């Protein structure tokens, strides 16, 4: 049985988190993500979970990491300024491999920017926000129903791969109300728990790759498996070890832990790309306009399509490369001055032309605006022929 609701994206995140089995939330109020905190404050205790409004953004993610060490699925949410403040702790979660979900409902930035206007200016921060080489996952929903689904998926991926997962939203998706169908019961929807040790506490090595998956088993604090967590470079015992070999081994495992599983992690959507000559590349809120615009362009005889990365990090390099092999132009549309486009260019490597439609004036593109960009791209292609 299910129920049909009119719901805001931020509220759908809350329901997705509850369904996924998130039972701890620590966070600080910040527009345009605050409804997530408010929703969690109401919903978590109803299901026996706990919500904390922390003293600042750092404590928000700090409590999340602490709860996760205790074995509880945990989440926080914020917007750009708070996302910046959380970065050091996100690095700690990468290094110590502590599962957690961080929602960033992007606003226009930098600094206070424009809190109630949409932007995708944090897309590179989501990948490279914390210092040092590191590897994590980011997913970006384009609709309210997808907020529910991708929040669940974010929790699942964080537990499965023991890494932070960023749910990168934007103000449009967070605040928009849309039809959503939710199951009456969330039974059976909880994300699978992180892998537990299958050895005795005496034999447990907290960072040993025991099954070749590169993802070590993680015991809950208090479960009888006593282990050590550190943000220092460490070896498989979990204790600091800074030799060149230990450092390289650690970095290699953290990198390949995600690279080896890209087929499972990286999700994308193709819309009418089969015979497309011009493919719009867009994610999150920017992709919403594109479905309709692709149809409009097709009605004019332009062979247009849409490629939507759902997992935005790791970057869908192979899919983009394959696309570039069979199409003529990739039109990257993003709500910033051009960040993701560089990633696309580096994957395409001249196999197709790459154009940028950057929208950074507070407003999502209208269908007409995007259509005009497609027409321009069409002219260039035809002119080149």
Instruction: Tell me which residues touch other proteins (CB under 8 A).
Output: 24, 26, 42, 45-46, 48, 50, 52, 54-56, 58-72, 74, 88-89, 92, 96, 220-224, 226-232, 239-240
Smaller CB separation from other proteins, 62 or 141: 62
Q: Which is nearer to other proteins, 58 or 246 (CB)?
A: 58
Question: What is the smallest separation between the CB atom of 61 and other proteins, expressed in angstroms?
Answer: 8
Select 75 or 370, whichever has its Cβ closest to other proteins: 75
Q: How far is the CB of 59 from other proteins (least distance, A)?
A: 4
DSSP string for residues in 159-204: HHHTSEEEEEEEHHHHH-EEEEEEES--TT-SPPPPPPP-S-GGG-
Alpha-helix runs per DSSP H in 261-306: 262-265, 284-299
Question: Shortest distance, CB of residue 293 to other proteins, whole angstroms?
Answer: 44
DSSP conformation letters of 3-53: EEEEEEHHHHHHHHHHHHT--EEEE---TTTHHHHHHHHHHHHHTT-EEEE
Nearest distance, CB of residue 249 and other proteins, angstroms: 19
Please identify, using beta-carbon distances, which residue of 228 and 382 lies nearer to other proteins: 228
**Of 96 and 137, which has the nearer Cβ to other proteins?**
96
DSSP per-residue codes, 88-134: HHHHHHHHHT--EEEEEEE-B-STT-BTTS---TTHHHHHH-SSSS-
Q: Which is nearer to other proteins, 226 or 342 (CB)?
A: 226
The residue among 69 and 371 lying less far from other proteins, judged by its C-beta, is 69
Smallest separation (angstroms) from other proteins to the CB of 157: 20
> Residue 351, class by beta-carbon neighbours within 10 Å (0-12 exposed, 13-18 middle, 19+ buried)?
middle
Residue 304 pairs in a beta bridge with 278
- For residue 364, the minimal CB distance to other proteins (Å) is 35
Q: How many CB atoms neighbour CB 208 within 10 A?
A: 16
Nearer to other proteins, 23 or 355 (CB): 23
Report the SS3 class of residue 216. coil
Cα distances (angstroms) measured from residue 286 to each of 117, 141, 216:
13, 10, 37
Name which of 298, 254, 77, 88 is nearest 169 in CA terms.
Answer: 77
Rounded (10°) angle between helices 284-299 and 367-384: 60
Closest approach of Cβ 67 to other proteins, in Å?
A: 4
The CB-of-340 to other proteins minimum distance in angstroms stands at 30
């Amino acid at each position: 049985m299910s129920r049909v609701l009119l719901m805001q994206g931020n509220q759908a995140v809350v329901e997705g988190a509850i369904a996924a089995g998130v039972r701890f939330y620590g966070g600080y109020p910040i527009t345009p993500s605050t409804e997530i905190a408010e929703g969690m404050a109401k919903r978590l205790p109803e299901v026996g979970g706990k919500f904390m409004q922390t003293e600042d953004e750092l404590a928000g993610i700090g409590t999340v990491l602490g709860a996760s060490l205790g074995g509880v699925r945990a989440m926080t949410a914020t917007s750009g300024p708070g996302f910046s403040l959380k970065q050091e702790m996100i690095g700690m979660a990468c290094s110590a491999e502590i599962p957690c979900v961080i929602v960033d409902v992007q606003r226009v930035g930098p600094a206070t920017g424009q809190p109630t206007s949409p932007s995708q200016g944090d897309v590179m921060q989501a990948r490279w926000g914390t210092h040092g080489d590191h590897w994590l996952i980011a997913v970006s929903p384009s609709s309210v129903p997808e907020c529910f689904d991708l929040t669940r998926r974010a929790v699942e991926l964080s537990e499965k791969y023991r890494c932070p997962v960023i749910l990168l939203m934007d103000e449009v998706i967070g605040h928009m109300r849309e039809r959503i169908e939710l199951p009456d019961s969330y039974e059976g929807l909880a994300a699978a728990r992180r892998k537990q040790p299958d050895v005795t506490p005496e034999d447990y090595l907290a960072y040993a790759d025991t099954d070749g998956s590169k993802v070590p088993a993680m015991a809950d604090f208090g479960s009888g498996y006593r282990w050590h967590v550190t943000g220092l470079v460490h070896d498989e015992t979990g204790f600091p070890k800074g030799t060149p070999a230990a450092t390289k081994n650690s970095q290699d495992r953290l990198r390949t832990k995600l690279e080896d599983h890209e087929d499972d992690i990286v999700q994308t959507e193709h819309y009418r790309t089969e015979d497309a000559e011009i493919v719009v590349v867009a994610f999150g809120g920017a992709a919403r306009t594109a479905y309709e615009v692709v149809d409009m362009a097709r009605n004019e005889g332009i062979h247009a399509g849409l490629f939507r990365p759902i997992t935005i990090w790791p970057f869908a390099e192979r899919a983009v490369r394959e696309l570039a092999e069979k199409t003529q132009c990739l039109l990257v549309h993003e709500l910033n001055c051009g960040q993701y486009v560089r990633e696309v260019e580096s994957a395409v490597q001249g196999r197709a032309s790459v154009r940028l439609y950057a929208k950074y004036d507070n407003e999502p593109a209208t269908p007409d605006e995007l259509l005009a960009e497609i027409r321009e791209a069409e002219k260039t292609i035809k002119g080149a022929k």
